[in-house]
Chains A and B, each alone.
Chain A
Amino acid sequence: MPTFFEKKQLVTPGELLAEGDYLPGENTYVEENKIFASRIGLVDSDNKKVNVVALRAFYVPKVGDIVIGTVAEVGFNGWTIDIKSPYTALLRASDVLSRPFKPQNDELSQVLNAGDLIVAKIASYDRAHDPQLTVGEPGLGKITRGQILRVTPTKIPRVIGRKGSMISMIKQETNCQIILGLNGVILVTGKNPEDEELAIAAIRKIEQESHTSGLTDRITQLLKEKKAKVEEKLE
């Protein structure tokens, strides 16, 4: 039962990873008892499970995920939302309005118009139906301020860090509120644009260096350095 890779090795689709008594993890598949990679990424094994952390992927909806989307179209009884996925999501009017929805009384484009950004949760999704969103929970709904940035969805776990260590550190250092959409869209809201820029720079660095170790320490250092620079300017 050999494996054919070193830890964190860059692999391409079709590369043979392991043979025999191993389990296929993310971005891998089995053919005749052999495990192959199906995306370009970095291999890693966890006990008997072989995983490939993809360097390029797209978002596939999952029930319960928090996502950030753009209103694409205002419909008769709801909105279609672009969540940067192969599937467009639907948001029903009755979910947003806390009262029964009557088309003759309510003008939907006054609640949410095309181009508006929202934070929402995936309420339902399966192979046969497009994902349906809900905003009926605290923290969800229309975005009114802050800055948006996009990363490859596979890198979101790296931005969160082990048990949220990375994201809580960035929040603390920059005094920003950060909402991570699992579809790869990130919302940063701070007291002033400088703080937001700082957080964005940190996230961009994580995106670029997501596959290296000791990243949290380097990001902390980066933030401290940049903060010092900003303070210098102010003085």
Chain B
Amino acid sequence: MNEKPEKLIDKKGLRLDGRKADELRPLKLQVGVLPNADGSAYIEHGKNKILAAAFGPREMHPKHLAQADRMVLRCRYHMAPFSVQERKSPAPSRREVELSKVIKESLEPALFHELYPRTGVDVFVEVLQADGGTRCASITAAALAIADAGVPMRDLVVACAAGKVDDTIVLDLYDAEDKLGVADVPVAYMPSLNAVTLLQMDGILTPAEFEKAVNMAMDGCRKIYELQKEALKTKYMVVKEVEE
């Protein structure tokens, strides 16, 4: 993937990995994979493999970070050294610090901060393998981990990106499209409340294209939301089926 292919979309309208313009990558979601965490989730989004763990609400450490009137959410997004082709230094990079903030801010509207003052919720996102769109997959997994920890939420947060590759608006960009494409628009969304919690854009789009991309990303989010709910229910359904 070092040389730029001439076209990212072929004559039939298919992308380099064979998907249609509005097709998601295959997804696999699992909840409760880490018994040591209060809540956890694992996501496989195309070639992305990401673990998320949530702890709390618990007493804040260091104590001066606690807020007298609200709960504090902390996130750490981290990429494993083996998550990309070239070894990535395990030290937090500028990009990881930024993504930690972005993920935190996209999850915050879903929480009832005022209910548990002086406490903190910690979310750790560990990218085991990256293939473009990790911030979106991380948000989807992190929301599941928080819900699994039993922290009350307004809604599960789902994220999905859309963008422009060659001249076409496409859904769910993967690594090559992200790097060689024209623009990338990640969107995080709470489907039940119809509220967008994250909206970024990297690249240049006309207002019409932007709107089309946002709507496409939101449609993608709704599809992932169904899988997300299913994954959360599956963990607790196992218990239900035992004696039925």
Contacts and interface: CB of A to CB of B under 8 A. Distances in A.
Contact of B240 (A14, A16, A56, A211): A211
B112 interface: yes
Interface residues of B, number: 37
Interface in B205-244: 229, 232-233, 236-237, 239-240, 242-244
Contacts of B59: 86-88
Interface string A208-222: 110110000000000
B147 A40 contact: yes
A29 B119 CA distance: 21
B158 to A, nearest CB: 10
Interface stretch (A31-39, A63-71, A94-102, A186-194): A31-39
A232 B155 CA distance: 53
Interface in A116-165: 127-128, 152
A182 interface: no
A228 B57 CA distance: 44
A226 B68 CA distance: 51
Contact of B147 (A12, A29, A87, A208): A12
A108 interface: no
Interface stretch (B123-131, B163-171, B185-193): B185-193
A86 B56 contact: yes
A87 B242 contact: no
A212 B118 CA distance: 36
B117 A13 contact: no
B239 A208 contact: yes
B152 A86 contact: no
A31 B39 CA distance: 26
Nearest to A38: B152
Contacts of B57: 58, 86
A69 to B, nearest CB: 14
A10 B236 contact: yes
B229 A12 contact: yes
Given A12-B147, A14-B156, A29-B154, A128 B192 contact: no
B116 A13 contact: no
Given A14-B156, A27-B152, A128-B68, A38 B112 contact: yes
Contacts of B233: 10, 12, 40
Nearest to B117: A127
B169 to A, nearest CB: 28
Nearest to A82: B59
Contact of A14 (B38, B118, B191): B191
A8 to B, nearest CB: 9
Contacts of A88: 59
Interface string A12-30: 1111100000000001010
Given A10-B236, A87-B118, A209-B239, 4 more contacts: A13-B156, A38-B153, A39-B153, A60-B116
Interface of B: 38-39, 56-59, 68-69, 110, 112, 116-119, 147-150, 152-156, 190-193, 229, 232-233, 236-237, 239-240, 242-244
10 nearest A-B residue pairs (beta carbon): A14-B155, A56-B150, A13-B153, A38-B152, A14-B192, A86-B57, A86-B119, A57-B150, A12-B229, A55-B236
20 contacts: A10-B240, A13-B154, A14-B153, A14-B155, A14-B156, A14-B190, A14-B193, A36-B192, A39-B150, A40-B148, A40-B150, A40-B232, A40-B236, A86-B57, A86-B59, A128-B68, A152-B150, A209-B239, A209-B242, A209-B243
